[in-house]
Amino acid sequence: MTPFEYRRATTVAEAVTWLRDEPEAKLLAGGQSLLGAMKLGLAAPPLLIDLGGIEALRALRDEGSSLWIGALCTHATVVASPLVRECLPGLACLAAGIADQQVRNRGTLGGSLANADPAACWQAGVLACGATLLTDRRAISADDFFQGLFSTALEPDELLLGAHFPLGVQLSYLKFEQPASRFALAGAAVARSESEVRVALTGLGHGVFRWQEAEAALSRRFEPEMLAGLRPDANRASSDLHASADYRLHLAGVLTRRALINMRQTS
Query: Which stretches of the chain bind ligand FAD, using CB under 6 A?
Result: 26-34, 36, 51, 71, 75, 98-99, 103, 106-108, 110-112, 114-115, 120-122, 154, 159-160, 181-183
CB of 229 to ligand FAD, least distance (A): 30
Containing H/E element for 115? Answer: helix 109-115
Q: Which is nearer to ligand FAD, 16 or 190 (CB)?
A: 16
CB of 125 to ligand FAD, least distance (A): 9
Q: Which is nearer to ligand FAD, 118 or 130 (CB)?
A: 118
- Specify the amino acid at residue 261: I
Q: Which is nearer to ligand FAD, 75 or 164 (CB)?
A: 75
Q: Which is nearer to ligand FAD, 14 or 213 (CB)?
A: 14
Determine the Cα–Cα distance for residues 164 and 61; give it in Å rounded to an integer: 10
Determine the Cα–Cα distance for residues 85 and 82; give it in Å rounded to an integer: 5
Are 205 and 237 in contact, with CB atoms under 8 Å apart?
yes
Q: Which letter, b or e, does each residue of 26-45 get, where b requires 16 or more Cβ atoms within 10 Å of its Cβ?
A: bbbbbbbbbeeebeeeebeb
CB of 40 to ligand FAD, least distance (A): 12
Cβ-in-10-Å burial (0-12, 13-18, 19+) of 261 comes to: middle
Residue 208's SS3 state is coil
Containing H/E element for 197? Answer: strand 197-202
CB of 184 to ligand FAD, least distance (A): 7
Are 92 and 85 in contact, with CB atoms under 8 Å apart?
yes
Q: Which is nearer to ligand FAD, 75 or 257 (CB)?
A: 75
Longest dimension (CA), the chain: 57
Residue 34's SS3 state is helix
CB of 186 to ligand FAD, least distance (A): 12
Containing H/E element for 140? Answer: strand 139-141
Q: Which is nearer to ligand FAD, 109 or 226 (CB)?
A: 109
CB of 129 to ligand FAD, least distance (A): 15
- Specify the amino acid at residue 244: S
Which residue number places its CB atom closest to ligand FAD? 111
Q: Which is nearer to ligand FAD, 150 or 239 (CB)?
A: 150
